[in-house]
Amino acid sequence: MSKQPLRIAIITSLYAPFLSGVSTGVHQRVLWLLQQGHHVLLIHPEFNSKYPKKVGDRPMRGLNEVESFTNFTSFAYPTEPLIFYKSLPQPLSYKYWSDTQVLKQFKPDIVVVEEAPQMRGFYSLFMQGYGRPIGVEYRKLTGTPTISLFHTDIVAYIKYYLGNQIFKLISPILPLTIKEFTKVYDYNFFPSEEQLTRYQELNSQRSEYLRYQGVDCQKFQPTNITYNPIPDDGRKILLFVGRITKEKNVNQLIESFPHIVAKIPDAHLVIIGSGPFDKEIRKLTQKYASNITIYGECYGTELLGWYARADVFINPSVTENLCTSNNEALASGTPLVLAKSPSAAEQVYPGINGFIAEANNPIDFANKVITILENPELKAEMSRQARQLVLKFDWSACMQQFEAKLYEILGIRN
């Protein structure tokens, strides 16, 4: 029996060429829904001359891949760079554009808001942003079901950037803030069960766990070793892929590295990515110039090759929420060492496909890495389990669940 095609509006805070796990996830979601025959309106951030030229030059999958579908429509809303990170966008205020008018023209069956906190202005501490809940005015006017998909753990970011003392001062108002923010949507979905539990404790309303954030297990796989970027280099590769920002905690990798190289002299740390902390990280790595490579941004088969070539994928961030690059490493057959974070336990089974280290503990982090590298049999078994255990997050499986949830919300049997 053929599926009933839906009219789905997706409003996102991030999309190509703005680089993030959210951008990757939104693109995969849009592409899959189009392939199933649904009509998709993508409301996404505009790229303009206010951003660094290198942002626009990124060879990311985006509009050029989906515009060939006749069932695809898009609208680029006006933006300006995020105050604290010029390579990421924030929407201009609702005084300059209207999400309601765009939705009225498309007449969706359902509205999906990706990363609603950023759209509202949480990322900029309300100094920028749309200024009101995105999609909600249209919901009130038409009764159209509107759902919010959480990606970033906003509360963890607030705590990380403001520090424990200020966080203690504002923590009493967080339950009220979270309640007011979430109650305006019909559903609030979280990709991590641990994150869902924590937000429910903060009085999150109409909230559920839904596995909607996945990984392309056909694209990321161990056979990508054929794209090995360093075929004549036999050193042990410790790989990090992500934005070089404060919350990613990359400095912890540099602090743990002396402990690792003392036991594993041929360890080679490769950091792939860019961000506002580039200069600081490069300065910290100068004394280990021959053993640490700051590679910059990387795409296509070269990136696939790095994932497959790595001996261990390392992520010291304590704010991650079902991190995309973690899943890409697992799909490539690479074991993980993660710092304890909101979703670490849902990606790592300690001793099976990697280890979880104490948060902000460089020595414990280093010891976990050393344990894998000093035990070839353990590493080989972890590599096998890494691929096997991440298959439940394959995009196809996740999107089938997502599509089924949309039909359920709309009361449609398929």
SS3 sequence of the chain: CCCCCCEEEEEECCCCCCCCHHHHHHHHHHHHHHHCCCEEEEEEECCCCCCCHHHHCCCCCCHHHHCCCCCEEEEEECEEEECCEEEEEEECCCCCCCHHHHHHHHCCCEEEEECHHHHHCHHHCCCCCCCCCCCHHHHHHHCCCEEEECCCCHHHHHHHHHHHHHHHHHHHHHHHHHHHHHCCCCEEEECCHHHHHHHHHCCCCCEEECCCCCECCCCCCHHHHHHCCCCCCCCEEEEEECCCCHHHCCHHHHHHHHHHHHHCCCEEEEEECCCCCHHHHHHHCHHHCCCEEEEECCCHHHHHHHHHHCCEEEECCCCCCCCHHHHHHHHCCCCEEEECCCCHHHHCCECCCEEEECCCCHHHHHHHHHHHHCCHHHHHHHHHHHHHHHHHHEHHHHHHHHHHHHHHHHCCCC
Least confident of 76-80, 111-115, 120-124, 365-369: 120-124
The pLDDT, as a whole number, for residue 247 is 86
More confidently predicted of 162 and 102: 102
CA distance 375 to 368: 11
pLDDT band at 96 (very low <50, low <70, confident <90, very high): very high
Residue 2 covered by a domain: no
Residues 6+ apart with CB under 8 A from 335: 312, 313, 353, 354, 372, 379, 382, 383, 386
298 assigned to some structural domain: yes
pLDDT for residue 358 = 96
**Does residue 399 sit in the same domain as residue 384?**
no
Do 113 and 29 contact (CB within 8 A), yes or no?
no
Residue 106: per-residue pLDDT: 98
The pLDDT score that the predictor gives to residue 257 is: 96
Domain shared by 256 and 338, yes or no: yes
- From 19-23, 276-280, 340-344, 373-377, the region with the lowest mean pLDDT: 340-344
- 256 falls within a domain: yes
Whole-number pLDDT of residue 163: 81
> Do 21 and 60 share a structural domain?
yes
> What is the dihedral sign for C-alpha 42, 44, 48, 52?
negative
pLDDT of residue 167: 84
pLDDT score of 376 more than 70: yes
Range of the domain at 162: 7-214+394-410
280 and 317 together in one domain = yes
Read off φ and ψ for residue 271, nearest 5 degrees: -110, 115
Question: 248 and 349 in one domain?
Answer: yes
- Both tokens assigned to 122: 């949480």
Clarify whether residues 198 and 272 are in a common domain: no
In this structure, the answer to whether residues 136 and 278 fall within a common structural domain is: no
| 43 within some domain | yes
Please indicate, yes or no, if residue 209 is contained in any of the structural domains.
Answer: yes
Residue 382: pLDDT band (50, 70, 90) is: very high
The CATH number assigned to the domain holding 334 equals 3.40.50.2000
pLDDT tens, residue by residue, 315-329:
999 888 889 999 999
pTM: 0.94
Q: Which residue has the higher pLDDT, 104 or 153?
A: 104
347, pLDDT greater than 80? yes
Residue 1 maps to a domain: no
359 and 401 share one domain: no
- pLDDT tens digits, 14-69: 999 999 999 999 999 999 999 999 999 999 999 999 999 999 999 999 999 999 99
User: What pLDDT digit, counting tens, does each position of 257-307 carry?
Assistant: 999 999 999 999 999 999 999 999 999 888 888 899 999 999 999 999 999
Q: Are 316 and 244 in the same domain? A: yes
pLDDT at residue 1 is higher than 60: no
**Same-domain status, 375 and 398:** no
Residues 49 and 194 in one domain: yes
Mean residue pLDDT across the chain:
94
The pLDDT of residue 84: 82
Q: Which residue has the higher pLDDT, 406 or 198?
A: 406
Per-residue confidence band for 125, with pLDDT thresholds at 50, 70 and 90: confident
pLDDT tens, residue by residue, 168-225: 888 899 999 999 999 999 999 999 998 999 999 999 999 999 999 999 999 999 999 9
Q: Can you tell me the mean pLDDT for 386-414?
A: 94
- When divided into structural domains, the chain yields a total of 2
In a domain? residue 259: yes
Q: For position 164, what pLDDT does the model report?
A: 83
- The verdict on residue 341 lying in a domain is yes
Residues 302 and 255 occupy one common structural domain: yes
